[in-house]
Amino acid sequence: MAYRGRFAPSPTGPLHFGSLVAALASWLDARAHDGTWLVRIEDIDPLREAPGATQRILDALAAHRLIPDEAPWLQSQRSGAYNAALTRLREAGRLYPCPCSRSELKTHGGQHPRHCREQPDWRQPEPFALRFPVEACNGHWYDRVLGEQPIRLEREKDDVVLRRKEGFYAYHLAVVVDDIAQGINQVVRGQDLADLTPTHLCLYEALEEAPPAYLHFPVVCNEKGQKLSKQAGASAIDAATAPRNISQALTALAHRPPPDLNGAPVDNQLEWAVSHWNPERLQRA
């Protein structure tokens, strides 16, 4: 099967160094496998979006020669697909309405005081969230960098929201539905998302689709040990210093360019990186 991968940033701000590393890792893995690389903008939470961030992200990627092979997708234009998936899950008995607050669930140890799961009331007035029920599971899944990883899910306690009370679609639903629609069969993303994989595998099973292969690489952290992110104060990457940025991003991925390429034109560095890409090095990143 031909390789199809993607980079899916949220437009909560401009591209920062941690995001560049994530984009580069997914791009390199796709190119090293002669595959297709896509960009998908996860703009399903308008309350967190920054004006103009989507275009700034795409411009920054282009400045670093990370150009998708197909037109970028915007999740804000995918509501029909998400609703169709919710309908399918509801008809299969894999969805239930839940008005419970986080504090209520915490107080009851993850159990629903209104018995939402066992006695779903689809006639109740909104607002309510739509939750995906999971069964108790102890198993494993395989990651190309981390190796065999455990699956430990608890019934009801680990049920996840697929549509929030405010009407916004949740990340879990959107990412799985869109990866299926785009034929994504290789997911390369940061290790901070690895714990979400068991839930996503359950969603693939419920939607009767084959899951992709996964590669989770170490995330870039700041001096406080926090994941580099917009919320942690990460600054926008400067496209004017693209060659230096790429050199530093490759180094963060344990693929330090040779001295004669350090700071060389971006295309030269990327050509070297594709031919030397080795995911096993990420274990030392």
Tell me, what CATH number does 148's domain have? 3.40.50.620
Q: Three-class SS of residue 206?
A: helix
Name the domain count of the chain.
1
For 102-154, the pLDDT digits (tens) are 899 989 888 888 899 999 999 999 899 999 999 999 999 999 999 999 999 99
| Average pLDDT value for the chain | 93
Q: What is the pLDDT of residue 49?
A: 87
CB 60 within 8 A of CB 52: no
Q: Going edge to edge, which strands form the sheet with 36-41?
A: 4-7, 36-41, 73-74
Q: What is the pLDDT of residue 235?
A: 81
Q: Which tokens hold the place of 274?
A: 């594709």
Rg (CA), the chain: 20
Q: What is the pLDDT of residue 231?
A: 57
Q: Which tokens hold the place of 52?
A: 């103009």
Range of 134's domain? 4-284
pTM of the model: 0.92
- pLDDT(37) > 90: yes
What is the Cα–Cα distance from 65 to 72, expressed in whole angstroms?
15
- pLDDT(224) > 70: no
CB 229 within 8 A of CB 219: no
Q: What is the pLDDT of residue 219?
A: 84
For 146-200, the pLDDT digits (tens) are 999 999 999 999 999 999 999 999 999 999 999 999 999 999 999 999 999 999 9
- pLDDT(225) > 90: no
Q: Which tokens hold the place of 199?
A: 């839930």
